[in-house]
Structure 1
Amino acid sequence: MPEPAAAAGPVSGGGGSAGAPRPEGGSVSEPLSQAAERGSATAGRVRVSGPSVPPQGAGPEVPKVPAYLRPPPPADVWQRRGPQPPGVLVRLRAASPPVIGPGTLWSVLATGLLSALLLGDGLGPNLLMVAVPAALGAFFAARSAGRRLRPWTAVWALGGLALLALPALRDAGWPVFLAVASALALGSLALHGSRSWPGVLLGSLGLFPSVAGGVRWGWRGVRARADDSRGRVRTVVRTTAVAVVLLLVFGTLFASADAAFADLLGSLTPEVSIGDSPWRVLLFALGLLGSLAAAYSAAAPVRWDGITVRPGKARSRAEWALPLIVLNLLFAAFLTLQLVVLLGGYDKVLEETGLTPSEYARQGFWQLLWATLLTLLVIALALRWAPRGEPGDRALVRGVLGVLCVLTLVVVASALRRMDLYVDSFGLTRLRISVAAVELWLGVVLVLILAAGVFGARMLPRAVVVSAAAAVLGFGLISPDGLVAEQNVQRYRSDRTVDIEYLKGLSADAVPALNELPEPLRSCALEDFQRDLTSPDAPWYATSWGESRARDILEQHPAENHGTTCHDFGRDADQREADERDGREGDGRDGDGFDPY
């Protein structure tokens, strides 16, 4: 028989009887604190019969505070923020581009090297030579991303390349600057493919947000391809090094053997010196960053068309149309007076106002130019708040704004007529031909707005950009400096007045026209050009066709030295300018004298 278990003693601080066996979980007479010390696994098996006895020294039970009444925990300033909403560019940009391909990498590298070697000596054909590999890199990146060449993309790309050809043709800096800026805008539009007004305006500046992303994209691609093709990279480096050594050795031998070959090799090879190394490094970085940004934009363009501008609250017909009808009446009254002047009342108007013909022309041109610009702003605001709910509302909008556009076209014609009168009095200058070209382009924009009212405004943003690019291209092709010089030479043949000091400040594009002046005016006008073009510093790739043609003319017919005669011409011009400032008559033609504008 099994031995009976010992009777349990009273619950106290001591242990049970000495001979009693200990249960696995401890006896009930053991203090609860010791049971807790043996671990949760052992203490969890303690069973106490009867009411629980609180430990000695314990206070009353404290009720628990609900969670919604507890104070919030202190904020942790070092805690990382949660995911932030994506920015505007992230939302508008297409999906992440694929890994940069080898064709894009080599094109980007070629762009950077050509920028460092060719762009440090000036602008000419070198700008187009640098743009070609950059365009190829963007084409390879777009093809790897699955983008196809669309008609408008081809229009923007070809237009940009045509504008970059102007530095190879013209020596004047101001049309070249306009052409380069317009080419960058068209190239950005070709990469992003925008069609709406926000897309066209912002898409022309779209390369700048892609610079940082393009650098990260290119660096990841280089690292990935370097890890996969270390052996091929070493092979390419060895092959390039051997080719360079062979070219240097045999090129030096052939150059020392034949002077003609040495001259040819020297004209074709870019001159690189240690002194301009920082400038070359900067050009390399700019070419690399620009080509990477272009390729990244081609692979993952920003969809600027996603930015929409909601139309304004439509106004009532009377509230919207009445001010524009009053404006149309004002335009009609002004143009009626202009028509009377053009038909025979010109002398009477001059007699009543006391103005000379040149003063009358100068006084009105700038005002009419500003009137044209403000009319375009009025049309844009009117379209924003015009009623458009019913067919009658849309017909009213077309009628009122169509009349305003037609009247503004007549204002443009009047402004151009005033400029023509002004040029007849004082001759053509850079500023006068520039503002006349701007006024003419504004007239083209008005014609496009009229066409949009008839055929729809879907193509209007792109049409305006095409007209602007065509205007810049045409402005450069007509050679504004050459046109200024030609007009002043013809004016000298008619009234024997010419401003030699102003003509001497034109570019080399004016040399063919100035070469037609009689002596000593010809030599006085060309002496500065001959001094600058006799010893050319720029290589062939940084020399424009206008500069080369001027150098050939001066080599065949050099300017003669007339001593102080040319100084007297300059002093006469300065004296006429001083007479104009003092209010005295200059040459006695109409009391206007010399006009610096």
Structure 2
Amino acid sequence: MTDSTQSPDSPESSSERAASRPRYRHFRKVGYKPVPEGREPAGSEGSPEPDEGAAVSEVSDEKPVEAAEETPAKAADEPKPAEKAEEPAKVQVATATLPPPSPWQGAPRYPAPAVVHTPTPLMPWWRPPASAAPNQVLVVGLVAGLAGAFLAPPNNGIGWFLAGLFGVGAVLFHAGKPTVERALWLAAALAFLAMGFLRAAEWTFPLCVMASMLCGSIAMAGGRTVRGLVFGAVGVGLAGLRSIPWVAKGLSKRGPIGIRPFISVGVALVLLLIFGSLLAGADKAFNDFLENLVPDLEIGVYVRMGFYGAVAAFGALGACYLVAAPAEINEDAETKPGTLRLKDYGLPVGVLVLLFTGFVGTQLAVLFGGEAYVMRTAGVTFAEYARSGFWQLLWVTILTLGVIAGVARFATKKTAREQLWLRILLGSLAVLTLVIVASALSRMWFYQQAYGWTVLRLLVASCEVWLAVVYLMVIAGGITLRANWLPKAIVGTGAAFFLAVVVMNPERVVADYNVTRFEATKKIDTRYLSQLSEDAVPALIRLPEPERSCALRWLKDRNVEQDWREWNLARHNAKKSLESVAVTDVTCESTYSGER
């Protein structure tokens, strides 16, 4: 008699236990999935996958899924084949069929996958420093800011040079030994600031400050091509703005400062105030020294000091930022070849060459014909003829330089024939423009002989001389058709010419010439000469009375220096010279006859 109780190891008992398990046990693993018609649901993890194309359920190999769901007990009672009894029992999966779609319900909408756009940096060729700003950079910014706030005066004076000296010295202390090129640019920047106490003319000082900032920025940012020089001119300013998070990161690494340093500074100020007041009351000389040392501070003074200090600090931090993270401008990359063909630019440039040739021929007749030829052909005096044409020739010189630069940049230069025609046309135009520059300078010479020199005429004539040098460099670059050095040479010579003009002391030159001319012609415009600064005093004291008093009446008692920071060498020498010269109040009438 066979025992109805089966052993726990028999295959029939294991299959019965698998069939009797609740179906919802594996629902969490599989989830709610529809069962396509004729397909069996995918098993849970670890279960074997059915053969491809099989249309039977996991419960029975002979009945469809619907039958297995309707009669689970019957499917469990059926006997298993012997070969299948040895296989592991398959796990049942709870499945369901989706209801038919409703005519009132649209197709399901699924959210589109989110597309993550990586922001492109504004200047990818200028990467920020990898590390935070070191303590040395913070000290450099502090020194430059304090120097700019406390040393730079409202007017021109020695304080500007001292502030620049402290700023440049602090930057070089961090940057290390400069190259020869950087040292020359920094020396030019300091030389422009030195004009603040070497020259008294107030109109030159703002120009010198801007030229100093330009030279300092090019010294730290560099630049050789047009693109590099444009960035070099504003590189320190942009780097100063970019250095704000860099410096903030460096400050955050230092941790909280605490209140002890502020308490120490406060105690020092209180002690300085108490003991300084007592010592000032004890001795008048020491009191005067302190009054001259500490300027009178008002709200406007605080605003000015804050502005100067912020600009100086930003400049120093920007220079340190450029040392830590120099801009990677690929100036050696080949530019796109030009598309301007010979038949496109040949006619316009050829017309200009013919026009300039005719004008140069006329100028030769004027130069050799002299005043009689001008009066006969133009119907005006020689001086009026010179004055009326100088400014037009100056604009012709400047505009022609733009034409040459544009054609040289965009013209095709593939074949030897194109290169030859480009050299001929642009070379002829440059040579003819040089003759026009010479004509403009000759007109200015005749102009000043008739009416005398003024500062404006001297500056414009100096600009014409610089343009002549620029055209010579353009001709030299056009011979080889390679002028990568030309942009930097133009900027460098321009800065050198302006510095030479300021060093030459233009107001002194103008006054000297007009006084010498007065001694020969007895013609002088004392009204114009009285508007000059103390730079002209050494020449004006040579005038006799009453012209001397008319020219020096506004400079006799003029005093613009409020403290030691505004000390100026030219004003100091002029004041000493005027102490020994009698200047009286007279009624001044200009003895100059003629229209200026």
TM bucket by the smaller chain?
A: 0.7 to 0.9
More contact order relative to length (CA 8 Å, sep ≥ 6): 1
1:132 aligns with 2:133: no
Mark the CA change 1:493 to 1:345 in structure 2 (over 3 Å): closer, same or farther: closer
1:294 and 2:319 are equivalent in the alignment:
yes
Task: In structure 2, give the amino acid aligned to 1:541.
Answer: R
Q: Which residue of 2 aligns with 1:412?
A: 437
| Paired residue secondary structure (1:167) | helix
Distance 1:116 1:479 in 2: 29
Q: Does the 8 A contact of 2:240 with 2:314 survive in 1? A: yes
Which of 204, 208, 216 is residue 179 of structure 1 equivalent to? 208
Residue aligning to 1:213: 242
1:117 to 150, 156, 168: 150
For the Cα contact (< 8 Å) 2:556–2:583, is it kept in 1?
yes
Question: What does residue 336 of structure 1 align with?
Answer: 361
- Of residues 354-363 and 309-318 in structure 1, the stretch that sits farther from structure 2 once superposed is 309-318
User: Alignment RMSD, CA only?
Assistant: 3.9
CA gap of 1:309–1:508, structure 2 versus 1, over 3 A, is farther
Matches within 5 A, 1:15-414: 27=20, 35=24, 51-53=64-66, 73=111, 82-87=117-122, 89=123, 91-94=124-127, 96=129, 98-143=131-176, 149-226=178-255, 259-260=284-285, 262-264=287-289, 266-272=291-297, 276-306=301-331, 310-311=335-336, 313-414=338-439
Offset of 1:241 from its aligned partner?
A: 7.2
Conserved in 2, the CA contact under 8 Å of 1:514 and 1:526?
Answer: yes
Q: How far apart are 1:199 and its partner, in Å? A: 0.7
Q: Distance in 1 between matches of 2:28 and 2:407?
A: 84
Residues 488 and 72 (structure 1), Cα distance of their counterparts in 2 relative to 1, 3 Å cut: farther
Q: CA deviation at 1:417?
A: 0.9
Q: Find the residue that maps to 2:121 and give its secondary structure.
A: coil
Q: How far off its partner does 1:200 sit?
A: 1.1
Of 431-440 and 411-420, the range deviating more from structure 2: 431-440
Structure 1 residues 368, 206: closer, same or farther in 2, change over 3 A?
same
After TM superposition, list the pairs within 5 Å mapping 1:401-550 onto structure 2. 401-454=426-479, 456-533=482-559, 536-550=560-574
Say whether the 8 Å CA contact 2:153–2:159 is kept in structure 1. no
Pick closer, same or farther for the CA change 1:393–1:48 going to 2, 3 Å. closer
- Specify whether residues 38 and 422 from structure 1 end up closer, same or farther in structure 2 by C-alpha distance, changes over 3 A only: closer
5+ residue gaps, structure 1, are 6-22, 64-68, 574-585, 588-592
User: Residue 381 of structure 1 aligns to which amino acid in structure 2?
Assistant: G
The 1:443/1:220 distance shift into structure 2, 3 A limit, reads same
173-182 or 238-247, which deviates more: 238-247
In the TM superposition, residue 140 of structure 1 has moved relative to its aligned partner by: 4.3
Please say if residues 199 and 303 of structure 1, whose CA atoms lie closer than 8 Å, have aligned partners that are also in contact: no
Q: For 1:39 and 1:341, how far apart are their aligned partners in 2?
A: 106
Report how far residue 439 of structure 1 moved: 1.4
Shift of 1:488: 2.4
Deviation at 1:549, TM superposition (A): 1.9
Cα offset for 1:307?
9.5
Distance in 2, matches of 1:453 and 1:209, equals 34
Q: Which runs of 5 or more residues in structure 2 are unaligned?
A: 7-15, 32-42, 48-56, 71-95, 102-106
With over 3 angstroms needed to count, the CA separation of the structure-2 counterparts of 1:324 and 1:311, relative to structure 1, is farther
What is the aligned residue count?
A: 534
Q: Distance in 2 between matches of 1:341 and 1:41?
A: 104
Going from structure 1 to structure 2, the CA distance change for 1:25 and 1:538 (only over 3 Å counts) comes to farther
User: Which segment is superposed worse, 366-375 or 168-177?
Assistant: 168-177
Most deviating of 498-507 and 36-45:
36-45
Match for 2:215: what amino acid? L
Residue aligning to 1:594:
595
Structure 1 pair 289/47, CA: closer, same or farther in 2 (3 Å)?
Answer: same
State the SS of the aligned residue for 1:84: coil
| Cα deviation 1:491-521 (Å, max 9, x = unaligned) | 3222222222222222222222222222122
Q: Residues 117 and 270 of structure 1 are in contact (CA less than 8 Å); yes or no, is this contact kept in structure 2?
A: no
Distance in structure 2 (CA, Å) of the matches to 1:410 and 1:83:
57
- Equivalent residue letter for 2:595: F
Name which one, 1 or 2, has greater alpha-carbon Rg: 2
Change over 3 Å in CA distance of 1:119–1:3 after alignment to 2: same
Q: CA deviation at 1:474?
A: 0.9
Counterpart-to-counterpart distance in 2, 1:525 and 1:40: 104
**Could you tell me whether the CA contact under 8 Å between 2:153 and 2:565 is conserved in 1?**
no
Question: Do 1:97 and 1:299's aligned partners in 2 also have CA atoms closer than 8 Å?
Answer: no
Is the Cα–Cα contact under 8 Å of residues 530 and 554 in structure 2 kept in the other structure? yes
For residues 405 and 59 of structure 1, do their structure 2 counterparts lie closer, same or farther at Cα, with a shift above 3 Å needed?
A: closer
